[in-house]
Structure 1
Amino acid sequence: MDYLHQEIPSQKVSQARIAGIYLFGAHRALDPDFINKLSLETIKNAFRTKARCFHPDLHGGRPPETVEKNRQWFIKVKESYEILKDFVACQTFEPEAAVVRQKRIIAVGGAKGGIGKSTFAANLGVFLAAQGRRTVMVDLDLGGANLHLYLGKTSVKKTINDYFSRAVSSLGELIMPTKFGPHLIGGDSSQLGSANVSFSAKMKLLKSLRELDADYVIIDLGSNTSFNMLDFFLAGDSHLVVTTCEPASYLEAYNFIKVGLLRRLNRLFGEESADPGQKNFGLQSLIHEATMSPNGSKANNIPALLERVKAGYPDYLPLLRETLAAYQPYLVVNQVIDVQDVPPIIRRIQDVARKVLAIKVRYLGTLPFMETVKRSTLNLVPEVARNSRGPLAQRMAAMSKEL
């Protein structure tokens, strides 16, 4: 059922998303389209699946503490089922509240500099804005912020640092228009320690990104694999990794995809878990040992890790598999001179990701090397704005349809 154009109280939507986390997992419940995809049948199916995992009568032979934990979890699952069932049944009778804007966060990352991430992000934002979508671009390259230059601004008065220092009361206060269509929240790496954001400030920012008044929020990220940068990347609904055909670039692209996954897995069951009900420090310790410690050779790939989880923590295996299935980053190959170089690179990354990481890497598209793009960047004019029907605009159109 399509709730996008119905008038739904935001409190009910938030309640439905929280309930959805228990039935469908955080990654699905926080998807912008989650509400629109809800139906009584999908809710019932999800409840049946969770009930088989946690109903105490089905796991009587296990230790008492495990049975009790399953019982508590089943209560939450049952309550969530009732909330979502009522939500679907009642929406056609809620005409008095404001329409909830659905948004999509697109994170643009990559672990190597000089590959055109910001150029790509800026042109994508200009294209989406030209289609009538309210687009907000956020410069989260905390160590080398320059997205404003790609949108024709030589400087910005207020930046993301003003949000971190509480000089402004909300992230939305930093939004400024650009002459090429998208709005901008600028960055500033001129201050010492700009890239060192506390955990609480980071989590507040990620929540605020979800609250921005926009159809699309595009996050332009830095070229590193710090925890902050990875968490910004993982905050996206779509994860775009930019690379070129140079070996150093596409090897780093794979590495960025890999460490992004490892970061997500290491946050899944520990203190930083999005769902307090799924914390399990024994399982968190196992995942940390397998993916981050020097002794990680005990499970040197994700399929091996899954086998260890199956043996030691079988109740959590469905959630782990669901997390892997939800992480499907897109590859964008930029500055391509010979298009025949691209397929072998894509196949290589996809094959290794499938075998070693147990994930699916998608191919979003190729952007050819163009002198006009280089010149437009030097002139502080996005190529898509300069030539709205040119080759780059056509590529952006194809990519936006896929997204």
Structure 2
Amino acid sequence: MMPVTISVGSGKGGTGKTLVASNIAAILSQRGKEVYLIDLDVGGADAHILYGVFKPSATLTDFLTGSQKHLHEVSTRLDTFYGLNLIVGTGETLKTANMSYATKKRLLKHIKMLKGDVVILDVGAGTSLNTLDFFISTDIQLCVSTLDPTSILDFYRFLKLSTIRKVLSSFLSTDEVSRALSQKDFQRIDEIFAFAEKIRPDARKKAENTLNGFRPALILNQVRGESTLDRLKLKHVVSKFLGITLPELGVIPWDEMVFEAIRSYMPIIEYSPGSKAAVALSKIADSLLEMIDTQIA
């Protein structure tokens, strides 16, 4: 049986994406799941630091360059974190920081071959094609954002381009519809459907079917005070312009203990399990477990 794959992405750096991914990976391991966390933040990989791993014996670079043939061979088992399997990120060379299409396909294939229950991909922030492709490739997608205005703008841009990329994935790269869609800028998803239909009658239905299964879940981080109105506005905008619902998986409140945990090179759920952020992350992990069980069923 293939593992359930989960991607964690964000529109910009500084939202706490890696914090969320690393803590959720540890919690799911604590709950008895065999978990792999892969740091795919190419060029800015730092998830290992949050576990106090400073000199890993192997990294993703060893797999991407062919030094190791199998992905599991570059994983580090963290016995102090419930047996979590960590695949440390790369970015040390221009070759790995700018991986080819063939290399990316090989990596995605081997991710599905890992012998575990759950594989979490900490994808890079932003909207490079590799980041978008890693994000949309998984069974479950999680988006991390703060309510800072610039973060929300970048989050919307990330989600918009991810949605468009997901629609494009329903067509072969050599397909006439794919070529035409790739050359045009869209502001709304219904524009894509209408444009695709003009090119080929069956294209609209195919694109709509692909999008039906695309339901990224939102995690808001560093939230101070009451934010219900801002959250409702954000979800309304996403629904109106992108044509997708945006379920909220959880809210992580602002918590100074998070920064103490980072400075101590530990996940917050280990450093201060009773803190507000750790409690919120545990609730998010429990909700995620329900989604994982649904995928398995």
Output aligned runs, 1:260-339, within 5 Å. 260-271=162-173, 280-281=175-176, 283-291=177-185, 300-338=187-225
CA-to-aligned-CA distance 1:3-46 (integer Å, 9 cap, x gap): xxxxxxxxxxxxxxxxxxxxxxxxxxxxxxxxxxxxxxxxxxxx
Change (3 A) 1:305 1:132: same
Partners in 1 of 2:68 and 2:37 — Cα distance? 18
Shift in Å at residue 307 of structure 1? 2.9
Match of 1:129 among 29, 33, 40: 29
Tell me the secondary structure at the aligned position of residue 352 of structure 1.
helix
The 8 Å contact of residues 250 and 345 in structure 1, kept in 2 or not, is answered as no
Distance in 2 between residues matched to 1:304 and 1:198, nearest whole Å:
30
Equivalent residue for 1:58?
A: none
Q: Tell which deviates more after alignment, 345-354 or 224-233.
A: 345-354
1:121-146 deviation digits (Å, cap 9, x = unpaired): 11111110000111110011111111
Query: Which structure is higher in helix share?
Result: 1
* Contact 2:58–2:76 (8 Å) recurs in 1: no
Tell me whether 1:375 sits opposite 2:260 in the alignment. yes
CA-to-aligned-CA distance 1:35-61 (integer Å, 9 cap, x gap)? xxxxxxxxxxxxxxxxxxxxxxxxxxx
Q: 1:107 aligns to what? A: 7
2 CA distance for matches of 1:116 and 1:302? 28
Higher strand share: 2
TM-aligned CA deviation for residue 350 of structure 1: 1.8
Q: 1:174 aligns with which of 74, 80, 85?
A: 74
Tell me the distance in 2 between the aligned counterparts of 1:389 and 1:364. Answer: 20
Of 102, 105, 110, 1:203 maps to 105
Q: Which amino acid aligns with 1:337?
A: R
2:59 touches 2:75 (CA, 8 Å); kept in 1?
Answer: no
> How many angstroms does 1:147 deviate by?
0.7
Give, in whole Å, the separation in 2 of the partners of 1:241 and 1:207. 23
Q: Cα distance, 1:390 vs. partner?
A: 4.6
The offset of 1:351, in angstroms, is 1.6
Gaps of at least 5 residues in structure 2 are 289-297
- Structure 2: which amino acid aligns with 1:327? F
Give the 4+ runs in structure 1 shifted more than 6 A: none
Determine the C-alpha separation between the residues in 1 that align with 2:37 and 2:271.
19
> 1:290 touches 1:305 (CA, 8 Å); kept in 2?
no
The residue aligned with 2:282 is: 397
**What residue is the counterpart of 1:163 in the other structure?**
63
What one-letter code is carried by the residue in structure 2 that aligns with 1:315? D
| 1:127-186 per-position Cα deviation (integer Å, ceiling 9, x unaligned) | 100001111100111111111001121121211111011000100101111121211000
Equivalent residue in structure 2 for 1:117, among 17, 35, 46:
17
Out of 374-383 and 348-357, give the one that drifted further: 348-357
Q: Quick one: distance in 2 between partners of 1:220 and 1:184?
A: 11
CA–CA distance in structure 1, aligned partners of residues 18 and 285 of structure 2: 17
In 2, Cα distance between equivalents of 1:289 and 1:165: 32
Larger Rg: 1
Residue 311 (structure 1) shift: 4.9
Distance 2:251 2:109 in 1: 32
Give 1:25's aligned residue.
none
Q: Which has the higher contact order (CA 8 A, sep 6+)?
A: 2
The residue number in structure 1 matching 2:87 is 185
1:364 aligns with 2:266: no
Residue 312 of structure 1 deviates from its aligned partner by 4.6
Query: Are the equivalent residues in 1 in contact too, given 2:257–2:275 (CA < 8 A)?
Result: no
Question: Which residue of structure 2 lines up, in the alignment, with residue 24 of structure 1?
Answer: none
Retained in 2: the 8 A contact 1:127–1:393? no
Distance 1:140 1:107 in 2: 10
Q: Is the 8 A contact 2:255 2:276 kept in 1?
A: no
Conserved 8 A contact 1:107-1:218: yes
Question: Which amino acid counterpart does residue 181 of structure 2 have in structure 1?
Answer: I
What SS does the aligned partner of 2:89 have?
A: coil
| Contact in 2 for aligned 1:113/1:223 (Cα 8 Å) | yes
Matches within 5 A, 1:134-145: 134-145=34-45
Q: TM-score, normalised by structure 1?
A: 0.67
Structure 1 residues 190 and 393, CA gap change in structure 2 (3 angstroms): same
Q: Distance in 2 between matches of 1:103 and 1:388?
A: 27
Where 2:248 maps in the other structure, the secondary structure is strand
Code of the residue aligned with 2:96 in structure 1: it is S
1:168 and 1:312 mapped to 2: Cα distance? 44
The count of residues paired between Structure 1 and Structure 2 equals: 286
Task: Name the SS of the counterpart of 1:139 in structure 2.
Answer: strand
**CA 1:193–1:204 in structure 2 vs 1: closer, same or farther (change >3 Å)?**
closer
Q: Distance in 2 between matches of 1:384 and 1:208?
A: 30
What does residue 147 of structure 1 align with? Answer: 47
Q: Which runs of 5+ in 1 are unaligned?
A: 1-99, 272-278
Say whether residues 1:224 and 2:129 are aligned partners: no
